[in-house]
Chains A and B, each alone.
Chain A
Amino acid sequence: MLTKRIIPCLDVKDGRVVKGIQFLELRDAGDPVELATIYDEQGADELVFLDISATHEGRKTMIEVVREVAATLAIPFTVGGGIGSLEDMRAILRAGADKVSLNSAAVRQPELITEGARYFGSQCMVVAIDAKYDHDLGSWRVYTHGGRKSTELEVLKWARQVEELGAGELLLTSMDKDGEKTGFDLALLQAVQQVVSIPVIASGGAGDASHFVDAFQDAEADAALAASIFHYKETSVANVKDILRQNGVHVR
């Protein structure tokens, strides 16, 4: 039986992990490989690296990070952030990443999803959707550029569309819940699960281990991603998995 996946997410800028990470045992708090190794040891099933470098140099450094992570870790990982062309995807996948995640670029150029799927396979094409509830729309709206820009797209329609275009997985972030620590957006997750048949990664809102139980049991998420709850050591991947096991959720 397939297990539910727990995925820590690391923000990387110019080759260093940013967003105050508190691992006391760390010699160097900003080293992506060192952090990734700790999460691997805790039992993380996958990792996501979000490249938030603003400069060309920073992006080039990211390739080095990817290469080093792939050389060190024997678990799958995804790289997202600023990927806008087939060339970007090829560079990251060749450096050893297992999947790439498209967000703004997928909205701007939906055919990138199809081209990526054709060249590299659907299994490595993750589409990230940042969703925010819109009362006028009566549904969720797609945002891009790290949540700064709203689009005309409706989340459920967009989710269906990216699956048809060849996406292998959805990384669904609730902007309403992000940072709130009150749990994942179960209504959003349930709605998206109704309309797609590719795996959905829940993101945004994790505040404690019980929230993961809800995402898996009530919203049938296939995986759940979190950042600060792990970085600030409010809980660990191992602890989340213990709680999931106690609640009858199948984990590795």
Chain B
Amino acid sequence: MIGIIDYGMGNLFSVSKALERLGVPYTLSHSPQELEKCQGLILPGVGAFPDAMKALNKTGMKQYILNKVEEGIPLLGICLGMQLLFDESEENGTTEGLQLLPGRVVRFAGKDAAGHAYKIPHMGWNELQHLQPEAKLLSKMDGGYVYFVHSYYVDTPDKHVVLASAQYETEVPAVVGKGNVYGAQFHPEKSSTTGMKILENFCNVVRDQEGVER
């Protein structure tokens, strides 16, 4: 059972339907009690970072997520949900994140190092470069295109957490992971077969984790 965390931010419908297509049972809830029976968690998110952290704090979901990660439950953050996993964001002033992964969420500059203009948001289909092809989330995949919509990206000092990236004005972390914490900057639920494969891989991580002593 996968728990989709409903904290009022995000297109939960598409994520749930994607899991349905994979035949994976899920619970969509804003209540920690209801999510208690889940062996894996998905943190979706569309909107602004400060609003999302405020909602996570207010609902007690922040502490719940941190506890579950500590227990070894696999967590997948999607889009803004991935950005929330990091230390902090500069979106509308500095806001502290969940601090599960090292790095800062910063706004695209709108140009590359050579001064060429790039549109913000980074919107559309971009190609994944697998930096750590052995990562479980990238299992049985070979690159592929996925759908991005975001104006902020993760700038991390720890390159080991970046499992795959996409090239825009800079190298954009696209799939991240460390231990049982994972994230996708793009929308796997909107990324056709490539996105579905990543969701499936996450579900497999959760399945393999079940029965493991925690």
Contact = CB atoms under 8 A, between A and B. Distances in A.
Interface in A1-38: 1-3, 5
Interface residues of A, number: 30
Contacts of A165: none
Contacts of B21: 74
B124 interface: yes
Q: Give the secondary structure class of B's interface.
A: mixed
A167 to B, nearest CB: 12
A204 interface: no
B110 interface: yes
B60 interface: no
B140 interface: no
A197 interface: yes
A74 B18 contact: yes
Contacts of B37: none
B79 to A, nearest CB: 10
Interface stretch (A90-98, A148-156, A230-238): A90-98
B125 to A, nearest CB: 5
Contacts of B159: none
B196 interface: yes
Interface size class of B (residues with CB under 8 A): 35 or more
B104 interface: no
Contact of A74 (B149, B151, B190): B190
Contacts of A70: 13-14, 17
A124 B150 CA distance: 11
Interface string B5-23: 0000001011001101100
Most buried by B among A95, A123, A197, A199: A123
Given A2-B125, A199-B124, A71 B17 contact: yes
Interface in A106-132: 120-124
A74 B168 contact: no
Nearest to B187: A76
A198 interface: yes
Most buried by A among B122, B123, B189, B196: B123
11 contacts: A2-B122, A2-B124, A3-B127, A5-B124, A71-B17, A74-B193, A93-B11, A95-B13, A122-B151, A168-B123, A222-B124
User: Top 7 closest A-B pairs, CB basis?
Assistant: A252-B145, A96-B13, A123-B149, A252-B125, A71-B17, A3-B125, A76-B190
Interface of A: 1-3, 5, 40, 45, 67, 70-71, 74-76, 93-96, 98, 120-124, 168-169, 197-199, 222-223, 252
